[in-house]
Amino acid sequence: MKEEGGGSSQKRRAEWASLQPDLVQLIADFLLSTSGVDEYMAMRAVCPSWRSSVDKPSSHAAVTDLRFRPRQWVLLNGADDDQGRPLFLNVTTGRFRRLRLSVLRDYILVDASDGLLVLGDRERPHAARLLNPLTGDMLPFAAPIPPGSQVAAAIALAGSEPTIIFSFPQILCKYVLLGGNAVVYSADPTGQLYAVKIHDAALKEEESFCLRSMVTCAGNVYVLSLKGMLYKIVWTGGLWYAERILEIEMHYTGALVESAGKLLVVRVDLEITEFFSVDVERKVLEPIESIRSCALFLSSGRCVLVDADKVPSIKGNCTYGSFGGNKFYNMYTRYDLSDAKKENITGPQVPGYLSCLIADSDITREGPLSLAQVLLTPYPDVKAQLDRIRCKI
């Protein structure tokens, strides 16, 4: 019976391997449009005949073609295993994956955007790079990453070429400037850093580009200023401009987040958290009473929305972050939108808001972090990474 079963299994494998190349490519295209690039790449690894039938994206397409972006995957900072393999989470399916990305040891991790990792060379002038972690392809840039501690990044497209949009968080606006008052910069693969200009001449630059949040949504980059002005970064006349969309009344803090192709705004007060959907064309906000099974994680400029039904130990219709807590002492809370109740979920062992600004910060962790704590952990401080490299030279 075992021999019969083994023979039957081998026969099925042979039948799958003998599928016509056109049919294999059709299945692969369907997977790419429904399940994502990870399933597409897994299909290439099934057998030699499938690998020859399913094209691997070019290094350029792996970054510029939106079909190959691992958009629902996030890198979990501080969750590497003993072999140094980083851990990724698919926020819609709850799937975890460890990837052998030895290339990360050779670069500075700046940020993650739309499924891509934004890196910088370890050697001066620290040229920028875009890495697709699921295909392993990297696109080099001539421009360096901006100096400073915490640098946020988003990816925009001008035609077929990607552009990195860099920005600094609000706390650094007065201290980290590359020229003028702007703290939002763009860089294409062959050009240098350029300040993003404001399209509305009636607005003052110094009031407009101290940012709260930045996000890529439906192929566009949106930024929310410290004073609550929402802008869309647009390509006009050969340059990137910030086009005013609308003004949002901000009480305490807030952030932008992408959800299923829609742009959302989360507004946080000391007592309440509110969500709005942004109608970019009509330039209006539409209140959202519930985020249903989703949970939002907001910390140090990062904003991640996950499906709590698919992710263990996470509660849906909740926000996780320093809402009404003391972010300077690493105290995080969970806010339940259904009953407006807050609950302390972390202690002082979790990296807090200021730890990302201190180059030699040593964070003491009392035991392993929970998944919620990991999702709230900021990405490594850029300046601290550079300082460590210089110390080793």
Q: What is the pLDDT of residue 350?
A: 42
CA–CA gap between residue 277 and residue 284 (Å, rounded): 8
Q: Which among 222, 208, 350, 360 has a CA at the least distance from the CA of 279?
A: 222
Q: What is the pLDDT of residue 205?
A: 52
Each residue's pLDDT, cut to its tens digit, for the chain (393 residues) gives: 444 455 677 777 777 788 899 999 999 999 998 888 999 999 998 899 999 999 889 989 999 898 999 988 999 988 899 998 999 999 999 999 999 998 998 999 999 998 999 999 999 999 999 999 999 999 999 999 987 767 889 998 877 789 999 987 654 454 444 333 446 889 999 999 888 887 765 555 544 467 788 999 988 999 998 888 899 999 887 888 888 999 998 877 889 999 988 999 999 887 889 999 999 999 999 999 999 999 999 887 678 999 999 999 999 999 998 654 444 445 678 999 999 998 887 544 444 433 443 333 334 444 567 888 889 888 888 888 888 887 775
The C-alpha angle with vertex 88 and arms to 33 and 159, in degrees rounded to 5, equals: 45
Label residues 330-368 b or e (16+ Cβ within 10 Å = b).
bbbbbbebeeeebeebbeeebbbbebbbeeeeeeeeeee
- What's the pTM? 0.85
Amino acid code (one letter) for 174: K
Where along the chain do its domains lie?
2-53, 289-393
As a residue count, the chain comes to: 393
Task: Give CA separation, 48 vs 10, 15, 41, 110, 136, in Å.
Answer: 15, 14, 13, 37, 20
